[in-house]
Structure 1
């Protein structure tokens, strides 16, 4: 049936990315489509809209369009304002044509004189779709370029506001900028302090949720994008926040910092964290994520510290008669791995008494000592900037001598001025590189004792403190007839010796661990 025949059942489809232009407003689109249907004697049986939905990024995944395509048996023709309202890419338009043709449904544009029932008309429609796609790409490039320019000027281009910041009027001109949100910045500093003091992310997230502090994605602080009505914090929320360089004032796009022309991150807003704190935070988070350092909520204090004196295996917690105990499961591991019965009978010790004894010895040895945090100092490296400046010199020479630019006396003068500036910049950067400070590790005194740190830390934090102190506890077999915990069964070692014993028990390369410990000690000296 020809699309021009009267009496057809018509479905009107309207789409608009943003309801801002009157020329293509939903009302105007619908009116034009209804006028076409009236002029041709078609009966409008359905009308669907996709408002504030991009036809380019969403493709065919649009609610209104899907409703139309799911009811093709009820229509004879689909009417739209222009081809670019139906599809923004040639591929999508061709797919819609294929789907509708298979169902015997025609397509009609209210503002373009096309007969889509003929092969020539369909070919012309595809040509128009190509130009619609080109126009969409051009608009996208202009918008991206404008956003890039605004970001480099320090202006806010919209979207989700990074946690710790808030939008404010630009005091130096038009537009909006980001400034530090005092309340959220205070929350960030409190979180960082707890992380550096060995508190677990699970415990921090739980406390934040109980304190009713809005999470980064909560609707109270996000005006658009994905929002949540819950103030619940999660460990994933904390990891995402604490590893995002926006805390340094850097401008982030697609998860990566935007770089300046000299290759360094673009910083256009006040930082929330200083560089030393940032590096200490990343070191701590990286250490927790390292092999063998994965933890779960409720990890026992001596897990990874307590070892069996019979078979050398780690000891794990279990509950017997309502009381928590540590026991060796080396016998079970041996049977599972080798299918043989181990000579280890699986000694066990009461958790509370064992933990209290190890804690007492640790505080006796380290409690009064001051906690000194080792902070990695980033070295200065101007080589990327030198390379970029030298490449700019080469491009300038090609502009003059190969591309024929800088013609005439004025051109020669401008060329000489630019060349001189670039030469001076290269010389200045090379001088800075010769005096650059190397990377290293600095000791930062905290004024806090290990006893204070221990008192404030969670179970997971205390466990980390013991592991860093090189704690190693070996449990000897129980004596016959012994009913109460005999602390003489426990051999407690701290320091490098403890770390080496742990490495040996865990099957690690002891020589390699010893070399790493030696290198770290030399670095401290």
Structure 2
């Protein structure tokens, strides 16, 4: 056994271990290093060696982080799961043409639609999937649309550097997408709702002549759309007429 093994932990952890030894009358003796905990000099030597072991571990960690940051600054791919459109080769990202076409399609359709929710729905309906074959959702699209790798850059701790790989998306397309993303999510959601067709709007009226308004709710992960109107009289103010469009023919009922 050697104190170099303590590089896997910390000096605090080993100090606690020595305290446990003391409480149970156990003496720590190293057969490869000349010290033991039965004497004050041995405990001093142990603490000094532990401090140097931890110092070496921390310096090694800092050196690895510095090498990693320097490699990123050179635009090198430092491992991990390659994003859609690329595959790693010799610490570089190589464009996969078939996947790159899908990435460009996603960027272009987002510019046209302006909604990640509607785009995810469209892509899944068209048979698109993630690199791992999973359905595309809004969260995945936001990560993809914000990944600077697609414009030929490598990011590290908030900084971006020119990468050693080819870009898939041109700067103009990137800027147009991010101009949309900078818009308030609430405004984009309102626009999405406004663009969602309500075919019966303006055609349905309650028994008191009040018009029905489109609305929706979610249950069990599914979206249900329906039309509601509140009665004008006092008696009808406590009730709501609903017409659902989940099936055919149109069904109307009153709820309290």
Report what 2:147 is aligned to. Answer: 244
Asked if 1:82 is matched to 2:2, the reply is yes
**Structure 1 unmatched ranges of 5 or more:** 1-80, 170-175, 219-229, 259-264, 332-339, 353-525
Report what 2:96 is aligned to. Answer: 181
CA offsets 1:268-300 (integer angstroms, 9 cap, x no match)? 43222112211222233444733682799xx96
Asked if 1:197 is matched to 2:100, the reply is no
Between 92-101 and 240-249, the greater mean CA deviation after superposition: 92-101
TM-score by length of 2: 0.66
Report what 2:252 is aligned to. Answer: none
**Structure 2 unmatched ranges of 5 or more:** 218-223, 247-256
TM-score by length of 1: 0.36
Question: Could you tell me how far 1:154 is from its partner in structure 2?
Answer: 3.3
Question: Could you tell me how far 1:327 is from its partner in structure 2?
Answer: 0.8
In structure 2, relative to structure 1, the CA distance for the partners of 1:84 and 1:345 (3 Å cut) is same
Report what 1:491 is aligned to. Answer: none
Q: Which of residues 143, 148, 153 is equivalent to 2:69?
A: 148
* Mapped contact 2:75–2:153 kept (Cα < 8 A): no
Report what 1:91 is aligned to. Answer: 12
Question: Could you tell me how far 1:124 is from its partner in structure 2?
Answer: 2.2
CA offsets 1:370-416 (integer angstroms, 9 cap, x no match)? xxxxxxxxxxxxxxxxxxxxxxxxxxxxxxxxxxxxxxxxxxxxxxx
In structure 2, relative to structure 1, the CA distance for the partners of 1:244 and 1:154 (3 Å cut) is closer
Secondary structure, aligned partner of 1:293: helix
Question: Could you tell me how far 1:102 is from its partner in structure 2?
Answer: 4.0
Report the Cα distance in structure 1 between the residues aligned to 2:63 and 2:226, rounded to whole angstroms. 66
Asked if 1:327 is matched to 2:228, the reply is yes
* Mapped contact 2:3–2:49 kept (Cα < 8 A): yes
Report what 1:113 is aligned to. Answer: 34
Report the Cα distance in structure 1 between the residues aligned to 2:29 and 2:135, rounded to whole angstroms. 50
Q: Which structure's CA Rg is the greater one?
A: 1
The number of equivalent residue pairs is 229
Secondary structure, aligned partner of 1:157: coil
Secondary structure, aligned partner of 1:167: strand
Q: Which of residues 234, 244, 248 is equivalent to 2:137?
A: 234
Report what 1:206 is aligned to. Answer: 124
In structure 2, relative to structure 1, the CA distance for the partners of 1:244 and 1:329 (3 Å cut) is farther
* Mapped contact 1:245–1:257 kept (Cα < 8 A): no
* Mapped contact 1:287–1:293 kept (Cα < 8 A): no
Report what 1:479 is aligned to. Answer: none
Asked if 1:163 is matched to 2:163, the reply is no
* Mapped contact 1:83–1:129 kept (Cα < 8 A): yes
CA offsets 1:225-269 (integer angstroms, 9 cap, x no match)? xxxxx6444332222122222222221124x233xxxxxx44443
In structure 2, relative to structure 1, the CA distance for the partners of 1:155 and 1:140 (3 Å cut) is same
* Mapped contact 2:230–2:237 kept (Cα < 8 A): no
Asked if 1:301 is matched to 2:197, the reply is yes
Question: Could you tell me how far 1:152 is from its partner in structure 2?
Answer: 3.1
Report what 1:124 is aligned to. Answer: 45
Report the Cα distance in structure 1 between the residues aligned to 2:83 and 2:111, rounded to whole angstroms. 22
* Mapped contact 2:231–2:240 kept (Cα < 8 A): yes
Secondary structure, aligned partner of 1:251: strand
* Mapped contact 2:36–2:43 kept (Cα < 8 A): yes
Report the Cα distance in structure 2 between the residues aligned to 1:301 and 1:104, rounded to whole angstroms. 79
Secondary structure, aligned partner of 2:70: helix
